[in-house]
Amino acid sequence: MLKSLLKYLFAVLPVVILFGCGNKTVSNGEAVAKVGSGKLFHKDVSSVIPDNLRREDSILMAEDYIRKWIKQELLLQKAEENLSEAEKDVSKQLEEYRKSLILYRYKNELIKQRMDTSVSEVQIFDYYTENPEKFMLNKNIVKAIFIKIPDEFANPEQLKAMCKDTSTEGIIELRDYCVQYAKVFDIFVDRWVGFQTIANYIPENIENQEQFLKENQLIERTDSDYYYLVSILDYKLKNEPAPIEYVNDKIKNLILNRRKIDFLKQLEDNVYTEGIEKNKFEILKPN
Domain ranges of the chain: 2-82, 137-236
Residue type, 201: Y
Of all residues in the chain, the percent with pLDDT exceeding 70 is: 90
pLDDT averaged over every residue in the chain: 88
Q: Are strands 38-41 and 31-35 parallel, antiparallel or unpaired?
A: antiparallel
* pLDDT above 60 (res 23): no
Q: 32 Cβ partners below 8 Å, 6+ apart?
A: 9, 12, 13, 16, 40, 41, 42, 45, 66
Phi/psi for 127 (5° steps) reads -65, -40
- pLDDT tier at 278, thresholds 50, 70, 90: very high
Least confident range of 20-29, 85-94, 177-186: 20-29
Rounded to an integer, the average pLDDT of 200-204 is: 86
- pLDDT score of 17: 47
* pLDDT above 80 (res 57): yes
Q: Are strands 218-222 and 226-236 parallel, antiparallel or unpaired?
A: antiparallel
Bridge-partner residues for 48, per DSSP? none
* pLDDT above 60 (res 5): no
| pTM as predicted | 0.69
- pLDDT score of 111: 95
Q: 58 Cβ partners below 8 Å, 6+ apart?
A: 17, 20, 21, 49
CATH number of 137-236: 3.10.50
* Measured distance CA(171)–CA(163) in Å, rounded: 8
Q: Is there a contact between 233 and 133 (Cβ–Cβ < 8 Å)?
A: no
**156: which DSSP letter?**
H
pLDDT tens digits, residue range 130-155?
999 999 999 999 999 999 999 988 88
Residue type, 1: M
* pLDDT above 90 (res 187): yes
- pLDDT score of 28: 57
